[in-house]
A and B are shown apart, each in its own frame.
Chain A
Amino acid sequence: MNDNTVRAIEPEQPGTPEAPQPHAAVITRGTRRAAILMALVVLVLGAFDYLASAGRLGDAGDLVLAALTLVPLAMAALILPVARTFGEGGTIRTQWLLFGFGMLSAGVGNTIFITLYLVTGKDPYPSIADVFTLAMYAILAVAFYLSIRAYRGILDLRPPLVIAGTVSASVMALVYFTVIGPYVVFAPAETQPFVTRVFNTVYPIMDVFLLLMPAIALGLLVSKLGTGRVAWPLWLVTAGAVTLAVTDTIFAYAGYVGAGRTPIIDAGYAIAPMLVGLAVLVARDVYRS
């Protein structure tokens, strides 16, 4: 059961029931190594990003930015093949494939963005890249919807949804009064073109209602499972979505006040997809246990 290679989960032979592994033995060495590798990548890229932000890498700083933007593509390349092993036609497989396609969409958007930036030398926002980034929100929202709906036969979905909705509405109000209102809606007309203004409004709304809200609802639901291992990968997905939503909001605020990108923000954009990538490995281990 500790095979680290990606393989299809085959049904056990009848008559050979196998007791579930103890919790400590579920996570394979391959998954632990992947987690360490991801942490190292964040640390190394973060260090180079810090140097780049301090102007110590010259033009090479763009390569650091390019490497960071490729993280979602790398995670899509990890998630999609693993998710395909989760059995034909099942809801579980669909959920994980959607998380993978969400990362793929973000990765394509990032790649187009960085290519346009490196080629033109100008900030390509908004651009065709945003179509893919916005598609990521829609795809992840559907993945979260399926993940939450999976618990309707087991748990009462209403309290987590009500709490998540209330928290998200409060956060949205906070984001509106601190970011969207002063820096977008009531900003002088000449500071932002209309299209930029629309995108600057749409992104925080999507962060709150398509990422944060379902992530909170899913987190509250799986907290009811206690130590049940089905919850483990979903904790990571929830953490990834919350990290992305928070990073996006901080980035928007930093952009409006003229602070721009910071290594912390860049790290957030790398950590969020990595958490989702790690989640699929944990899910694989759990399903095999």
Chain B
Amino acid sequence: MAGISETVVRALVPYVGATVADTCVRATAISIGKSFDILTTEDLPALEERARRLLAPLLPKATIDRVVAEFRGGVL
């Protein structure tokens, strides 16, 4: 099974592309004092919060809900 970081990146890539998706997850990891590779399910709320904040000006709320539901579904 792919790690949490990869799952979240994979959910974001179709919308914002690989570079931005990767940056989003790495920046979240740094902001909570971790590295990209060791994020756990406990970090999911932080990832979700950051993803929502970054995507809010780019996508309607319903679409963001779908993206978040997808990576939550892939992780949990």
Q: Which residues of A are in contact with B by a Cβ distance under 8 Å?
A: 9-12, 14-21, 23, 86-87, 90-93, 146, 149-151, 153-155, 224-231, 286-289
- The answer to whether A225 touches B17 (Cβ under 8 A) is yes
A91-B57 in contact given A18-B69, A288-B63 (Cβ < 8 Å):
yes
A9-B17 in contact given A17-B73, A92-B57, A154-B54 (Cβ < 8 Å):
no
User: Chain B binding site: helix, strand, loop or mixed by DSSP?
Assistant: helix
- The answer to whether A230 touches B65 (Cβ under 8 A) is no
Q: Which residues of B contact A154 (CB under 8 A)?
A: 16, 20, 23-24, 54, 58
Q: Which residues of B contact A227 (CB under 8 A)?
A: 17
State which of B14, B60, B72, B74 has its C-beta within 8 Å of the C-beta of A228: B14
- The answer to whether A12 touches B62 (Cβ under 8 A) is yes
A-B contact pairs, 11 of them (CB 8 A): A14-B69, A16-B69, A18-B70, A20-B11, A20-B15, A86-B60, A92-B57, A225-B16, A225-B19, A227-B17, A286-B15
- The answer to whether A11 touches B19 (Cβ under 8 A) is no
A91 CB to closest chain B CB (Å) equals: 5
Task: A12 to B66: give the CA distance in the assembly, Å.
Answer: 6
Q: Which residues of B contact A224 (CB under 8 A)?
A: 17, 19-20
Q: Which residues of A contact B60 (CB under 8 A)?
A: 9, 86-87, 90, 92-93, 287
- The answer to whether B17 touches A10 (Cβ under 8 A) is no
Task: A50 to B2: give the CA distance in the assembly, Å.
Answer: 60
